[in-house]
Chain A
Amino acid sequence: MSGPAELVLLLVVLASFLVLGTARLSTGVRAVAFQGVLLGLVPLLLFPTWSWHRAALAAGTMAIKGVIVPRFLLWAIREAAVRREMEPRLGYVPSLLLGTVVLAVAFALAGRWPVPEGGGTLLVPVAVATVVHGLLVLTASRKAVTQVVGYIMMENGIYLFGLTQAERVPFLVELGVLLDVFVGVFIMGIVVFHINREFDSIKASRLVEGAE
């Protein structure tokens, strides 16, 4: 595994911490966009030989995760007039601390797992940490938009893990694009119905107002 790939993977982790620690919604979305561009670089750096398949994967990832989805999300925030703060249930400092613990555990566990071919030692722990960081943002958020941000981070982690199998199993990582369909549906939901806060459980006392 080469040096640049390790650097990019460390930047991926840094982008996750930026989301965990920021109070501004737009910074969170931009951090996720930055992470998306980095993810496009990973397959190129991990496997330095040229192949059309990898080039297409890199270009597609950068376009979808780095540009299209984040732009769509920023547009939705403007359109639905969502307030510009992250407003998580968990404070920023506890989030960062928890994120660090997750990272440490992922690296500690990674020693026990076999290293996949050509993946290097960093790929698996970074992938696992990104999935858990995404889940952390998703469950800690009170707003629909931040839930979507967490979901995208989780998806990014899954994509990173998929890269370990990308050379052996054709068109497996590409399945991840089907998860972006959900992201698209969520964003459309936010725009069309102005969903702002996460819903609480539907209470029996409110059954009556259901019949509109």
Chain B
Amino acid sequence: MTLLHALVLLPALGALGAAVHRTEAYRTGWLLVIAALHLVLTGLAWTGAPPPTLGGWIALDAIGLIVLTVVSVLFAAVAVYAVGYLRRENPRGGRAFVSCLLAFLSAASLVALSHHFALLWIGLEATTLAVAPLIFHRHDRRSLEAVWKYLMLSSVGIALALLGTFLLAASQSVSGDAVRPLVLEDLMAGAPQLHPAWLKAACVFLLVGYGTKMGLVPLHAWKPDTYAVAPGLVAGLMAGVLTMIAFLGLTRITQVMIAAGLGGFVTPLLLTFGLASLAVGAAFIIGQSDLKRMLAYSSVEHMGLLTLGLGLGGGSAYGALLHAVNNGLAKGLLFLTAGNVVLAAGGVAGDQRGLLRRAPASAILLLAGLLAVAGSPPFGTFLSEFTIVRGAFGAGHPWIGAAALLCLAVAFVGMARLIVPMVYGTSAEPGGREARGGENAWLVAGPVALALGVLLLGLFVPPALQRQLAAAAAVLGGRAP
């Protein structure tokens, strides 16, 4: 068994193991162990490139390694948080909860490692299903509505992505028998021989299918409802991990299109989706009264930014990959903290003001998260957003650059108007609820680690990461700025 197999199998076996354990403490301990081991395996993957296995279906390239690392790091933070969360809010026993979390990790790792479009699709389909019971954790009417809406839209997206995968296979049918069907390396090597009509159709369907999973406008309708209802750690996993692996699906097809010399077909599509998501996300941030709903629109906005960067290519593609890392960490930080805010307010319907007094650590984390997600200077998001926007100006698209800057500014003001009063304001109902707002180390450690991560990436991008980012950007028609 190689390292690559272990990265997928370990959490899959962990999911089965968690279903067997009867005691809550065992299950959460088990979750921590698996998350830590997964992190160690991911670290090992950085030390040397493991050889491809399963006939080239499973392999690790630069983009895959970056995505895998974000998945693993964010999951570790979520696992620590889950220990504290399940003690506080656990309506039906966390048995299925921990199993679904680990199954999700397994499927997400599979997506990061797959170099075969059908395998990639299977992984994304599995993540969609694994997340559904997690969203439904509270078992109330609103969760049911949210999970139905999420499943309906995602399943249509997934079905269209399957059609896109079939079309991609059809584009290879003229290439002869020597190629391995749907294997990324063979698609890239034989890209000029692919049939352009089928390839273009495949690109459109994969873009729409995986775009639905990312929540790009106009396919984002499920996002606000789902994020608002899902527990904070689940929303964090969705905004940080699920969107990231869907973005990986988008980069894979973009990669093939560029290799096939059809970059001119895919670029306008990516730019349109990107700008629309950026604008709609920013516009809807204004006036939101619910923290997690607002963060959902922020996620739409940042997915737009990633897609825009991918479409612009050049330095922006490098920036988009760096931003995918930063955004993953920042969204994890914010949604975990938002979970604390809900716990401190005594439920989703509670009064969330006066946080500084009731949950001081979470209040400070929320302010840090606001600065991080808005791209303020000491944080990594500033660097990556700056790189994307500078790339737009450099590539001769000053209007796109200016529009992106305007959207980012609008979003910052909109978020600050909700978060600042939430932190400093005074609660309408003094006393009483105070006792329910107790924070503990489990609930704070994860977000603190993520905040430090996104802060460190703003001060210093490690050379190893820089090399991987540059290598990843190179296949997307980009370069290190």
Binding site for B on A (CB under 8 A): 112-114, 116-117, 131, 135, 138, 144, 147, 151, 154-155, 157-158, 161-162, 164-165, 168-169, 172, 175-176, 178-179, 181-182, 185-186, 189, 193, 195, 199, 201-202, 204, 206-212
Pair B156/A113 contact, Cβ less than 8 Å: no
Binding site for A on B (CB under 8 A): 118, 121-122, 125, 129, 132, 140-142, 144-146, 148-149, 151-152, 155-156, 158-159, 162-163, 165-167, 169-170, 173-174, 181-182, 195, 197-198, 201, 221, 225, 228-229, 289-290, 347-350
A158 contact set on B, CB distance < 8 A: 159, 162-163, 166
- Shortest beta-carbon contacts, A-B, top 8: A210-B142, A211-B349, A182-B155, A169-B181, A212-B140, A211-B347, A199-B145, A165-B169
A208 contact set on B, CB distance < 8 A: 349
A114 contact set on B, CB distance < 8 A: 174, 195, 197-198
B162 contact set on A, CB distance < 8 A: 158, 175-176, 179
A164 and B170 contact, Cβ closer than 8 Å, known pairs A113-B197, A114-B195, A202-B228: yes
A147 nearest in chain B by CB position:
B152
B289 contact set on A, CB distance < 8 A: 204
Pair B173/A165 contact, Cβ less than 8 Å: yes
Pair A168/B348 contact, Cβ less than 8 Å: no
Q: Main SS of chain B's interface residues?
A: helix
A195 contact set on B, CB distance < 8 A: 144, 148
Pair A161/B167 contact, Cβ less than 8 Å: yes
B289 nearest in chain A by CB position:
A204
A208 nearest in chain B by CB position:
B349
A-B contact pairs, 5 of them (CB 8 A): A112-B197, A172-B118, A172-B166, A176-B162, A193-B144
A179 and B158 contact, Cβ closer than 8 Å, known pairs A202-B225, A207-B290, A211-B348: yes
Q: Give the residue of A168, A199, A204 whose beta carbon is less than 8 angstroms from that of B149.
A: A199
A185 contact set on B, CB distance < 8 A: 129, 132, 151
Query: In the complex, what distance in Å separates the CA atom of A113 from the CA atom of B227?
Result: 41
Pair A169/B197 contact, Cβ less than 8 Å: no
Pair A207/B158 contact, Cβ less than 8 Å: no
Pair B155/A168 contact, Cβ less than 8 Å: no
Pair B159/A154 contact, Cβ less than 8 Å: yes
Pair A189/B159 contact, Cβ less than 8 Å: no
Q: Give the residue of B140, B144, B152, B290 whose beta carbon is less than 8 angstroms from that of A204.
A: B290
A202 and B182 contact, Cβ closer than 8 Å, known pairs A117-B173, A179-B162: no
Nearest Cβ in chain B — how far from A179, in angstroms?
6
Query: In the complex, what distance in Å separates the CA atom of A175 from the CA atom of B129?
Result: 15
Query: In the complex, what distance in Å separates the CA atom of A169 from the CA atom of B118?
Result: 11
Query: In the complex, what distance in Å separates the CA atom of A206 from the CA atom of B146?
Result: 13
Query: In the complex, what distance in Å separates the CA atom of A206 from the CA atom of B181?
Result: 50
B142 nearest in chain A by CB position:
A210
Please name 20 further chain A to chain B contacts, defined as beta carbons within 8 Å, in addition to the given A185-B129, A211-B347, sorted by A numbering.
Answer: A114-B174, A158-B162, A161-B170, A164-B166, A169-B181, A172-B166, A185-B132, A186-B151, A193-B144, A195-B148, A199-B145, A201-B221, A202-B145, A204-B289, A206-B142, A207-B348, A210-B141, A210-B349, A211-B140, A212-B141
B152 nearest in chain A by CB position:
A147
Pair A172/B198 contact, Cβ less than 8 Å: no
A210 and B169 contact, Cβ closer than 8 Å, known pairs A202-B146, A204-B290: no
Pair A202/B142 contact, Cβ less than 8 Å: yes
Nearest Cβ in chain B — how far from A187, in angstroms?
12
Nearest Cβ in chain A — how far from B126, in angstroms?
9
A171 nearest in chain B by CB position:
B118
A138 contact set on B, CB distance < 8 A: 156
Query: In the complex, what distance in Å separates the CA atom of A207 from the CA atom of B198?
Result: 46
Pair A210/B229 contact, Cβ less than 8 Å: yes
Nearest Cβ in chain A — how far from B89, in angstroms?
12
B171 nearest in chain A by CB position:
A114
Query: In the complex, what distance in Å separates the CA atom of A199 from the CA atom of B229?
Result: 15
Nearest Cβ in chain A — how far from B219, in angstroms?
13
Query: In the complex, what distance in Å separates the CA atom of A202 from the CA atom of B229?
Result: 10
A161 contact set on B, CB distance < 8 A: 163, 166-167, 170
Q: Give the residue of B163, B290, B348 whose beta carbon is less than 8 angstroms from that of A131.
A: B163
A151 and B156 contact, Cβ closer than 8 Å, known pairs A199-B148, A210-B229: yes
Nearest Cβ in chain B — how far from A161, in angstroms?
5
Nearest Cβ in chain B — how far from A188, in angstroms?
11
B146 nearest in chain A by CB position:
A202
Query: In the complex, what distance in Å separates the CA atom of A208 from the CA atom of B166?
Result: 45
Query: In the complex, what distance in Å separates the CA atom of A209 from the CA atom of B349?
Result: 8
A148 nearest in chain B by CB position:
B152
B148 contact set on A, CB distance < 8 A: 144, 189, 195, 199
Query: In the complex, what distance in Å separates the CA atom of A41 from the CA atom of B464?
Result: 55
Pair B142/A155 contact, Cβ less than 8 Å: no
